[in-house]
Amino acid sequence: MRIGFIGLGNMGGPMASHIIAAGHDVTVYDVRREVADPHLQHGAQWVASPRAVAASSEITFTSLPGPKEVEAVALGEGGILQGAEPDSVYIDLSTSSPTLIRAIQAAYQEKKVHVLDAPVSGGPVGAQAATLAVMVGGDHAIYERVKPILDVIGDKVSYLGGIGCGEIAKIVHNMIGICFQSLLAEGFTLGVKAGVEPRALLKAVTDGAVGQGLMLNYMVPEVIFKGDYDTVRFALRGARKDLGLATELGRECEVSLRVASIVEQEFIEGLARGWAERDSTAPFALQEERSGVTVRAPKA
């Protein structure tokens, strides 16, 4: 196929290389001409603008820093929309705004150009190894059409729903991961200052329920998705006790536990509502109440 690729940085560069290696006719562009040299050496063609990339491509990819760059390349002067042919496909691999990609789709519909959002996760190492997770939003038929190309850049390609759903999933994923870093920082500074050697602490956390992925692999699909907060696996009163022990130890060791303290307040509110003998996941219902949505899903 004739593939265009715009954005040859730490993520886009390796992804474009995999598509070239798969035997496709690839046209590339980046604001830094020199970063395209490895791709040109392996058979890619260089053009001088995103518009020219789109004009020569059945599928045009972008891998860009963020919404500002995506909007300029997708909708701006000399951009993809000005060069794209009807029935071609534009796929944005960037972590960007779902509102923006929906606006882009609306603009592209007038020219009968298809749009997918397909942000990726796995970092430069995953990009180089072609082991990325690719989170796709948009028309399912178009997703099926282009999936063989997406399979070249990632081994975990999934369809999330309508346009923008890929971006939403990626934003949620990154939010959880980034916030989890703060919780790790609290836990490991507390553990080390209280006297545990760092590698021993890592082994304890890795061997326990956290490291075994109990929350994502069991609690979310089997408890949260079912709203089953009354089958007690670990009572809320016990979880509150453990959080209290952690924040008490933090005070003894003079370690700030901001995240843990906020969570402790959630559990105290659960106790105030009479939930002591409900499951320790019951405070999830507090966030559902505040957000006006329940997180329920039928059995897969």
- Percent of the chain surpassing pLDDT 70: 100
Greatest alpha-carbon span in the chain: 68
**Does position 19 have pLDDT exceeding 90, yes or no?**
yes
pTM of the prediction? 0.95
Give mean pLDDT, residues 49-64.
98
| DSSP annotation of 213 | T
Are 61 and 26 in contact, with CB atoms under 8 Å apart?
A: no
What are phi and psi for residue 298, nearest 5 degrees? -65, 160
Q: What pLDDT does residue 122 have?
A: 97
Given a cut of 90, is residue 17 above it in pLDDT? yes
3-state secondary structure of 46: strand
Tell me the pLDDT tens digit for each residue of 242-259.
Answer: 999 999 999 999 999 999
Token representation of residue 77 = 């002067």
Looking at the domain assignment, is residue 298 inside a domain?
no
The domain that contains 210 carries what CATH number? Answer: 1.10.1040.10
Q: Length of the chain in residues, anyone?
A: 300
Q: Supply the mean pLDDT for the chain.
A: 97
Average pLDDT estimate for 227-246: 97
Angle (CA) 56 57 58, round 5°:
140
Q: What is the distance between the alpha carbons of residues 61 and 3, in angstroms, rounded to a whole number?
A: 8
Three-class SS of residue 45? strand
- Give pLDDT, residue 299: 83
Q: Which residue has the tokens 């994502």?
A: 216
Work out the average pLDDT over 78-86: 98
Place 148 in a pLDDT band, splitting at 50, 70 and 90.
very high
Residue 203 lies in a domain: yes
11 and 146 assigned to the same domain: yes
Residues 236 and 97 grouped into a single domain: no
Query: How far is 238 from 147, CA to CA, in rounded Å?
Result: 47
What residue numbers bound the domain in which 264 lies? 170-291
Domain match, 156 and 38 both = yes
For the domain that residue 130 is a member of, what is the CATH number?
3.40.50.720
Shared domain check, 6 and 96? yes
**Residue range 214-231: mean pLDDT, rounded:** 96
Instruction: Give the confidence band of 50 by pLDDT, cuts at 50, 70, 90.
Output: very high
Residue 125: how many other CB atoms lie within 10 Å: 11
List the catalytic residues. 170
Q: Which residues pair with 61 in a beta bridge?
A: 5, 91
Question: DSSP label at 8?
Answer: -
Residue 286 has a pLDDT of: 97
Domains held by the chain: number: 2
pLDDT of residue 300: 73
